[in-house]
């Protein structure tokens, strides 16, 4: 997908395109998180992984799922899903990582404290610019979805898990008329 497609549809898109085109790619020396987590990346760069991981740390306060698990699950899913989701999400991560430069004295998102990252996310969520709100939702939805799909969160939510895992009820038989 054309990375600009996502940006153009939202107010502020032109400025964002200009910004996104200037974003440095970064390298694994600057972003050692994936290596430190022993994750072999499938779709994201080391910088994008670090940004997703940093966002997960801010979103998942008190949730018994590690940020590294969530970031690696996002990486793995996007590798399979491909475009347009992959390029759109990479754009979101790039904008998030560098969108803090002006408001936080040159600091990138991944370099902020969790409290500061939370303030950034709140700022993006309530922004007057639709693009920022859209980026916020993309990031939030991915992070919480992959976290709460994990069995380790069941104690937190009180969810007992699918009934199928607790109660053996036979399926009604179906004759498909032959399967090849």
Q: Which residues bind other proteins (CB under 8 A)?
A: 1-2, 5-6, 9-10, 58-63, 77, 80-85, 88, 114, 118, 121-122, 125-126, 130-131, 133-138, 140-141, 144-149, 153-154, 156-160, 162-165, 167, 169-180
Residue 52 sits at φ, ψ, to 5 deg, of: -60, -40
Distances (CA, A) of 11 to 60, 68, 130: 29, 33, 6
Q: State which residue, 26 or 54, has the beta carbon closest to other proteins.
A: 54
Interatomic CA distance for residues 87 and 95, integer angstroms = 12
Q: Other C-beta atoms within 10 Å of 62: how many? A: 5
Q: State which residue, 29 or 164, has the beta carbon closest to other proteins.
A: 164
Residue 121, token pair as written in the block: 């996310």
Asked if residue 56 lies in contact with residue 67, where contact means CB atoms within 8 angstroms, the answer is: yes
Q: State which residue, 27 or 149, has the beta carbon closest to other proteins.
A: 149
Q: How far is the CB of 14 from other proteins (least distance, A)?
A: 14
Q: State which residue, 106 or 157, has the beta carbon closest to other proteins.
A: 157
Q: How far is the CB of 40 from other proteins (least distance, A)?
A: 18
Give CB contacts under 8 A, 24+ apart, made by 167-171: none
| Coil/strand/helix, residue 169 | coil
Q: How far is the CB of 168 from other proteins (least distance, A)?
A: 11
Q: State which residue, 93 or 131, has the beta carbon closest to other proteins.
A: 131
Q: How far is the CB of 57 from other proteins (least distance, A)?
A: 9
């Amino acid at each position: 997908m054309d990375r600009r497609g996502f940006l153009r549809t939202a107010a502020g898109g032109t400025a964002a395109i200009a910004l996104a085109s200037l974003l440095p790619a970064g390298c694994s020396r600057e972003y050692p998180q994936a290596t430190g987590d022993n994750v072999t990346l499938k779709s994201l760069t080391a910088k994008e992984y670090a940004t997703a991981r940093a966002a997960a740390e801010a979103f998942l306060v008190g949730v018994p799922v590690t940020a590294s698990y969530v970031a690696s699950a996002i990486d793995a899913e996007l590798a399979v899903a491909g475009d347009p989701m992959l390029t759109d999400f990479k754009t979101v991560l790039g904008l998030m990582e560098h969108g803090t430069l002006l408001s936080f004295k040159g600091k990138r998102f991944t370099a902020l404290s969790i409290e500061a990252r939370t303030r950034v996310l709140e700022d993006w969520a309530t922004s007057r610019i639709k693009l920022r709100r859209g980026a916020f939702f993309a990031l939030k939805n991915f992070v919480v979805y992959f976290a709460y799909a994990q069995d380790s969160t069941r104690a937190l939510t009180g969810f007992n898990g699918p009934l199928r895992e607790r109660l053996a009820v036979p399926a009604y038989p179906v004759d498909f008329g032959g399967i090849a």
